[in-house]
Amino acid sequence: MPRYLVFTDLDGCLLDSRTYSFDAARPALERLQSNHIPVVLVSSKTRAEIEPLRRHLNHQGPFIVENGGAVFVPSGTFDFPMERARRRASYQVIEFGTPYAMLRDVLKQIEDSVGTPLLGFGDLSIDDIMELTGLSREAALLAKLREYDEPYLVRGPETIAAEVRRQIIMRGLQWTKGWRFFHLTGLNDKGQAALKLLHCYKRQWNMDGEQHEVETVGIGDSLNDLPLLLAVDHPVLVQKPDGSYDRDIDVPQLIHAPGIGPVGWNHAILDLLNLAA
């Protein structure tokens, strides 16, 4: 039997897009825990946002922040030193992203170039973020503590939005899109970070001298999950709040989960585990 490793997006996926609840996914989460299958959280959220969620989820494993900006691995997860990692509090951290201050500078340069206001998280008040996302005040404060990724909104026609994206690429950076915002990032993504962790898990599991087959599952709902879905063996797409699937996701052997957010998440995981049994 192969070993399994699950990578999952959070907002609109494991977490309900409106209530941020994961109750609908509890049966699958409990099944994964009982089968000792690691779950890696992969999000556009900040480390400060993910840490309280980990406590609610009783999550003990690694997590990936800000669209692959960095991998945070709790100390003691692996029995070997991780390459390129540095110690930060109780974590080993591997950074892939561009520092946030540089991203803010680039966004302002592009704003001047296109002559249209670009509203980044750094420009928004806590009240603005609460209104746009439905987050509580405390959660909105944590969402502002960004290190590698600048979410932004374009106030203008699609031609302006396309020009912004063109200028981002011209400057050697990347853009992607989540459910609510575009994101300006460095040359990092969720798939790159997931593959780094997959390498570490394979090394850990093979330390007993056996070569264990490892199968990966990736679950997402938006364009920023595309690199992750391309990197895994079993890519899963859950439905958006209106019941649709993101049309920008085109991945071989894509599994369309029958349900919105955590409902679809739960169905997909239980179906895959039943097939593997």
Give the Cα-Cα-Cα angle 98, 101, 107 (nearest 5 degrees).
90
- Three-class DSSP category at 21: coil
Looking at residue 187, its amino acid is L
User: In angstroms, rounded to a whole number, what is the distance separating the alpha carbons of residues 97 and 83?
Assistant: 16
Burial 35-65 (b: 16+ CB within 10 A, else e): eebbbbbbbbbbbbbbeebeeebebebbbbb
Token pair of 48, please? Answer: 């400060």
| Marked catalytic residue, from 9, 16, 149, 221 | 9
- Three-class DSSP category at 86: strand
Looking at residue 171, its amino acid is R
Whether 154 and 166 have beta carbons less than 8 Å apart is answered as: no
Compute φ and ψ for 182, nearest 5 degrees: -75, 160
Q: Is 9 a catalytic residue?
A: yes
Question: Quick one: which of 92, 99, 95 has its CA closest to 146?
Answer: 99
User: In angstroms, rounded to a whole number, what is the distance separating the alpha carbons of residues 218 and 7?
Assistant: 5
- Concatenate the DSSP letters of all residues of 49-78 into one string: HHHHHHHHHT--S-EEEGGGTEEEEETTSS
- The CA-based dihedral angle spanning residues 223, 226, 228, 230, taken in that order and rounded to the nearest 10 degrees: 170
Active site residues: 9
